[in-house]
Amino acid sequence: MGRALGVLIWLLTIGSVWLFVNGRWWLPPYISEHGPAYDRQFMITIIVVGLSFAAAQIGLGWAVWRYGARGNRGERAVYSHGNNRLEIIWTAITALIFITLGLMGQRVWAQLHLNEAPAGSTKVHVVAQQFQWNFHYPGADKNFGRTDPNLVKDAELNFVGLDEQDANAKDDQVVTTLAVPVGRPVELTLESKDVTHDLFVPELRYKQDVVPGMAIKMHFTLTKEGRFELACAELCGQLHYKMKSYLIALPANVYDELVAMPQAQFQGRITQLIKEYPLGIRQGAATTAALR
Amino acid sequence: MEEATTPIEPSAAATEVGAAGTDAHAEAAAAHAPHGHHGPPTGFIRKYIFSIDHKVIGIQYLLLAIFAAFTGMFMSVLMRLNLTWPGHKWTILETIFPLGAPGGVMTPEFYLSLVTMHGTMMVFFVLTTAPQGGFGNYFLPIQVGAEDMAFPVLNMLSFWVTLVGLLVLISAIFVEGSTIVGNTDFVNNFLGGGGTGTLGPIGGWTGYPPLSALGKVAGPGQGAGATLWITSIAIFCIASLLGALNFITTLLNMRTRGMSLMRMPLTCWSWFTTAILALLAFPVLLAAGVLLLLDRHAGTSFFIPGGLVFNDVVQAHKGGSPILWQHLFWFFGHPEVYIAILPGMGATSHILSTFARKPVFGYRAMVFAMFAIGLLGFFVWGHHMFISGMDPRTSIAFSVLTLSIGVPSAIKTFNWLGTLWGAKIRFTVPMMFAIGFVSLFVAGGITGLVLGQTSLDLFIHDGYFVLAHFHLVMGVAAIFGMFAGVYFWFPKMFGRMMSERLGQLHFWPTFIGVYCIFVPMHIMGIVGMPRRYASFQEYDFLRPLDPLVLLVTIAAIVTAAAQFIFLFNFIWSIFKGKRASGNPWEATTLEWVTPTTPPPHDNFGGHLPTVYRGPYEFAVPDAPEDYVMQTTPDAGEGNVAAAGAGQGSGQGVQGSSGNGHNGQH
């Protein structure tokens, strides 16, 4: 029985490790500047985790294989209450590894969260609502128009409660797809109309809760063009699983042309871009040029 | 020796175990002398229903947890079916849930209510109830040599309050799931309205406001069901609080003579630590729950900010903070993880040592590690909230503390391996589950190193990686601890053995099954699969995971089916199992010296045992057997009435000199 259990523990260990290393399933390719640093830290951590996991399971399997009672009741186990030196050694080693990992694990976070977005970042307001994403652009004047919850009229497509009387609001655009430029810092301001949502684009390596009553800022810089699925990652009610949009990462000049358009044209152009950009990273500058 | 009536004064002497000759006696045990103890009840109702006997209450808790576990498991299978075959018509479902599954197809809100009820059922009524309320109640008093809990009536009350909590939770299913119950005046006027075809609320077991705070305006499943759900949790908090008080008092004041703290079985340490955590954590959740109820029904705005708009209507609330709830919830919620797992650690240590026929490796380190985990457990709740919008600098502090909690967890793993090293393992069913616990604890716990890092949470938070992590460690590992406990203590609880063959038949598919369910879920998380999705059909990036989704579902069905082997074995063995001897496992602690099996009403037949040594004296050189009972006096104490391997004969046990024996080996 013991040997069978030992072998089973080893087999389960091999199977588990195989799932992680077979290459079929992994993080999607990254598209942001902090992507490589994220993936490196993830890989280092997974290697440490994998080695510790395998070592512990192999040890457990070995103990179970090796130290089964062999039917002879006269045999006795080793009479030992432990070994303080061993305790100290393995505690120190584990503490060192874990704390080091913990400190390394703050780098990407600090870079994104402890710094303000660089001056001149492209700004977009994100307004989440039950089961729709709204993206509010400041228009050519680069100033966001005033919004007011009392002005929200979903039926009239005023999802964010934009105040039409406000001069800054005249050229603002609100669409349900997030278009941003590649190679320029982007700052999103996240707000929710109703419950807590979460903005998640796997390729972006960024998840951020969108909390009602707060205006949470997040910033990043994209390095790759393409179209990517944007999901809600915080349970927000009945149709949470359908609260989907796209992030379209455009060449800076295409983006500049887009945001200079008035609302109706902007909307049409976005629809066109969704068709032109297949899902995933868009390869090659030639296609970028063709787009223009 | 102190007079038997000396007032309770346990702690100072009890903790000084280092020096020879300072064996503490728990005078409390004597103060709780036989004549002062409640006599055995005679009527059926006082004996088995409204019983104040900790053993009956323990079994009641255990049965309640088994019921809740099977209910929760059934819900999880339904969820897997929906995820794997979305839109499929399950004709039988329509018969059971005409509103939730019209035409046999589960609606998304029905799915989310399954998510919520599964989580609540499992976390509160299984993981918190069975290991602590069940085994702790039954065995803590016996293992420390007491006749009952310190407050038997309070103990009875805590069980019955727990049961009320469960009934209220179940009633949430009916007010939301049926139009008949769900449309009564009471439900509509006082509970926020029901009959939405869900099985209760759909906000997840974490119930984040504002979704959970606004009532029906926030969508289906946020009416009466949510009110009952919060009420149920609040009731559960009170019950746990009562239980925790009892555990702490009993352990500190009622240990028998010679049972110094450092001679207690590790199970007792784990129940003690857990009780302290429960005492400090549950009141916070209770407060949060009351505030949430006020937000829902009294128009307050603790968790609801101003300017919320639903269907173009601005809500009247203002000034609250959704994040406040998350702080309160996780201040409870993280210790709760340890409330679920610590008793499993205790049981595993206890059982590993017994069947390894070897003392626990590093007993003292195990005790300190458990306390370190408990203490640190109160300072890491923020790792559930890295991306919640709270101050990112705070996250860094929480993150580093979180990584450091891995250290005592690793110490425990090392010590379990150390216990097995050089052992003579007997592969009984409880031992198989205890070994399984170690394997699963490592598999589930180690990924905490990934999740504890702020940076890495930027991608993996709120996804299947987290789901896999906590299911393995606080769900499955903890349940393996429970299975180990059931198979191990069943002979003492029911006087019969469970079938070893059926037990093995239960263990193998369960152990393989849980690996096949939860390891692939990590991979899903790495690909980016978000939690709490009623369907994965909307997203292209999730398509490559289809084969894994199917694998997990098949494994879940097989594993769930295997649990019926356990259920059959459990029930069958109560009536038909082989009669158990007083100490079938040749174990050393006090539960195995009771005069009868199951133990009599006052546990030790009126004569409390005296303890002479630590709890895990296996393989002692020169001892006649390979185990030495805690009650066996040292050589040269021959005049002491034998309380040894068997059934304490009583005479003189109470009167013998327990002083002067060094408990340290």
CATH of the domain at A213: 2.60.40.420
Residue of A53, A195, A277 to mutate for B, most B C-beta atoms under 10 A: A195
Q: Could you report the per-residue pLDDT of B75-113, keeping only the tens digit for each?
A: 999 999 999 999 899 999 988 888 889 999 999 999 999
pLDDT at B658 over 50: no
Instruction: Note the pLDDT of residue B549.
Output: 97
Whether residues A166 and A135 share a domain: the answer is yes
Instruction: Note the pLDDT of residue B34.
Output: 46
- At B643, is the pLDDT very low, low, confident or very high (cuts 50, 70, 90)? very low
- Please tell me if residue B202 touches chain A, with a CB cutoff of 8 Å: yes
Instruction: Note the pLDDT of residue A71.
Output: 72
- At B44, is the pLDDT very low, low, confident or very high (cuts 50, 70, 90)? confident
Whether residues A266 and A198 share a domain: the answer is yes
In a domain, A98, yes or no: yes
Beta carbons of B515 and A153 less than 8 Å apart:
no
Residue A260 near residue A140, CB atoms below 8 Å: yes
Whether residues A222 and A269 share a domain: the answer is yes
Residues in chain B: 665
Q: Could you report the per-residue pLDDT of B182-225, keeping only the tens digit for each?
A: 788 888 888 888 888 888 899 999 999 999 999 999 999 899 99
Tell me which residue in B210, B425, B541 faces A28 most closely, judged by beta carbons: B541
For range B232-236, the mean pLDDT: 97
Whether residues A101 and A178 share a domain: the answer is no
DSSP output for chain A: -HHHHHHHHHHHHHHHHHHHHSSSS-PPPP-BTTHHHHHHHHHHHHHHHHHHHHHHHHHHHHHHHH-B--S-TT---------HHHHHHHHHHHHHHHHHHHHHTTHHHHHHHSSPPPTT-EEEEEEEETTEEEEEE-TTTT-PPPB-GGG-BGGGTBTT-B-TTSGGGTT-EEESSEEEEBSSEEEEEEEESSS-EEEEEGGGTEEEEE-TT--EEEEEEB-S-EEEEEEE-S--STTGGG-EEEEEEE-HHHHHHHHTS-HHHHHHHHHHHHHHS-BEEPP-HHHHHHH-
3-state secondary structure string across B575-600: HHCCECCCCCCCCCCHHHCCCCCCCC
Tell me which residue in A45, A57, A109 faces B454 most closely, judged by beta carbons: A109
More reliable by pLDDT, B23 or A141: A141
Beta carbons of A48 and B541 less than 8 Å apart:
no
CA-CA distance, A2 to A8, in Å (whole number)?
A: 10
| Nearest Cα residue to A206 out of A250, A247, A256, A259 | A247
- Please tell me if residue B539 touches chain A, with a CB cutoff of 8 Å: yes
For range B472-480, the mean pLDDT: 97
Residues in chain A: 292
Q: Could you report the per-residue pLDDT of B523-562, keeping only the tens digit for each?
A: 999 999 999 999 999 999 999 999 999 999 999 999 999 9
- Please tell me if residue A107 touches chain B, with a CB cutoff of 8 Å: yes
Chain A hits for B221, CB-CB cut-off 8 Å, are 238
Give me A94's structure tokens.
């584990």
- Please tell me if residue B184 touches chain A, with a CB cutoff of 8 Å: no
Neighbouring C-beta atoms of residue B40, cutoff 10 Å: 11
Whether residues A241 and A260 share a domain: the answer is yes
Beta carbons of A46 and B450 less than 8 Å apart:
yes
Which range among A121-130, B28-37, B281-290, B342-351 shows the weakest confidence by mean pLDDT? B28-37
CA-CA distance, A5 to A72, in Å (whole number)?
A: 20
pTM score of the predicted model:
0.92
Q: In chain B, where are the structural domains located?
A: 47-305+316-576
Residue A218 near residue A126, CB atoms below 8 Å: no
For range A81-105, the mean pLDDT: 95
Whether residues A227 and A280 share a domain: the answer is yes
Backbone dihedral region for residue B584 (phi beyond 0: left; psi -120 to 50: alpha; all else: beta): alpha
Q: Could you report the per-residue pLDDT of B170-190, keeping only the tens digit for each?
A: 999 989 888 778 788 888 888
Contacts of A29 (CB under 8 A, 6+ apart): A203, A224, A280, A281
- At B637, is the pLDDT very low, low, confident or very high (cuts 50, 70, 90)? low
**Looking at chain A from residue 41 to 80, which residues have their Cβ under 8 Å from any Cβ of chain B?**
41-42, 45-46, 48-49, 52-53, 56-57, 59-60, 63-64, 67-70, 73, 75-80
**Looking at chain B from residue 445 to 504, which residues have their Cβ under 8 Å from any Cβ of chain A?**
446-447, 449-450, 452-459, 461-463, 504
Beta carbons of B446 and A56 less than 8 Å apart:
yes
Give the single-character DSSP code of B151.
-
pLDDT at B663 over 90: no
Residue A187 near residue A125, CB atoms below 8 Å: no
- Please tell me if residue A123 touches chain B, with a CB cutoff of 8 Å: no
Q: Say what percent of chain B tops pLDDT 90.
A: 81
Whether residues A234 and A126 share a domain: the answer is yes
Beta carbons of A26 and B527 less than 8 Å apart:
yes
As for how many domains chain A has, the answer is: 2
pLDDT at B425 over 60: yes
For range B623-644, the mean pLDDT: 72
- Nearest 5°: the CA angle B71, B75, B79 is 170
Strand partners, A123: A187
- Please tell me if residue A155 touches chain B, with a CB cutoff of 8 Å: yes
Whether residues A24 and A152 share a domain: the answer is no
Tell me which residue in B203, B360, B406 faces A98 most closely, judged by beta carbons: B406
- Residue B23 CA, chain-centre distance (Å), reads 32
| Domain B47-305+316-576 of CATH type 1.20.210.10 | yes
Tell me which residue in B435, B519, B535 faces A241 most closely, judged by beta carbons: B535
Whether residues A162 and A252 share a domain: the answer is yes
Buried b (16+ CB within 10 A) or exposed e, A245-280: bbbbbbbeebbeebbebeeeebbebbeebeeebeeb
Alpha-carbon Rg for chain B, nearest whole angstrom, is: 25
Q: Nearest C-alpha of chain B: how many angstroms from A48?
A: 9
Q: Could you report the per-residue pLDDT of A201-243, keeping only the tens digit for each?
A: 999 999 999 999 999 999 999 999 999 999 999 999 999 999 9
Tell me which residue in B322, B388, B527 faces A212 most closely, judged by beta carbons: B322
Beta carbons of B312 and A155 less than 8 Å apart:
yes
**Looking at chain A from residue 246 to 265, which residues have their Cβ under 8 Å from any Cβ of chain B?**
none
Q: Could you report the per-residue pLDDT of A167-197, keeping only the tens digit for each?
A: 999 999 999 999 999 999 999 999 999 999 9
- At B73, is the pLDDT very low, low, confident or very high (cuts 50, 70, 90)? very high
CA-CA distance, B586 to B646, in Å (whole number)?
A: 10
In a domain, A72, yes or no: no
For residue A164, the enclosing domain spans 120-291
Chain B hits for A28, CB-CB cut-off 8 Å, are 527-528, 541
Instruction: Note the pLDDT of residue B35.
Output: 45
For range B388-400, the mean pLDDT: 96
Tell me which residue in A9, A98, A150 faces B404 most closely, judged by beta carbons: A98
CA-CA distance, A126 to A217, in Å (whole number)?
A: 10
- At A287, is the pLDDT very low, low, confident or very high (cuts 50, 70, 90)? very low
Beta carbons of B536 and A59 less than 8 Å apart:
no
- At B38, is the pLDDT very low, low, confident or very high (cuts 50, 70, 90)? low
Give me A271's structure tokens.
């629809």
In a domain, A74, yes or no: no
Whether residues A155 and A57 share a domain: the answer is no
Size of interface A-B (CB pairs under 8 A): 362
Chain A hits for B463, CB-CB cut-off 8 Å, are 233
pLDDT at B656 over 80: no
Whether residues A222 and A251 share a domain: the answer is yes
Neighbouring C-beta atoms of residue B153, cutoff 10 Å: 12
CA-CA distance, B497 to B495, in Å (whole number)?
A: 7
Beta carbons of A80 and B358 less than 8 Å apart:
yes
Beta carbons of B219 and A238 less than 8 Å apart:
yes
Q: Nearest C-alpha of chain A: how many angstroms from B355?
A: 10
For range B636-663, the mean pLDDT: 39
Instruction: Note the pLDDT of residue A72.
Output: 65
- Nearest 5°: the CA angle B153, B155, B156 is 65
Whether residues A104 and A145 share a domain: the answer is no
Residue B359 near residue B619, CB atoms below 8 Å: yes
- Residue B85 CA, chain-centre distance (Å), reads 32
Q: Nearest C-alpha of chain A: how many angstroms from B213?
A: 10
Task: Say if residue B178 is exposed, middle or buried (CB neighbours under 10 Å; 0-12, 13-18, 19+).
Answer: middle
Tell me which residue in B219, B417, B541 faces A202 most closely, judged by beta carbons: B541
- Please tell me if residue B367 touches chain A, with a CB cutoff of 8 Å: no
- At B37, is the pLDDT very low, low, confident or very high (cuts 50, 70, 90)? low
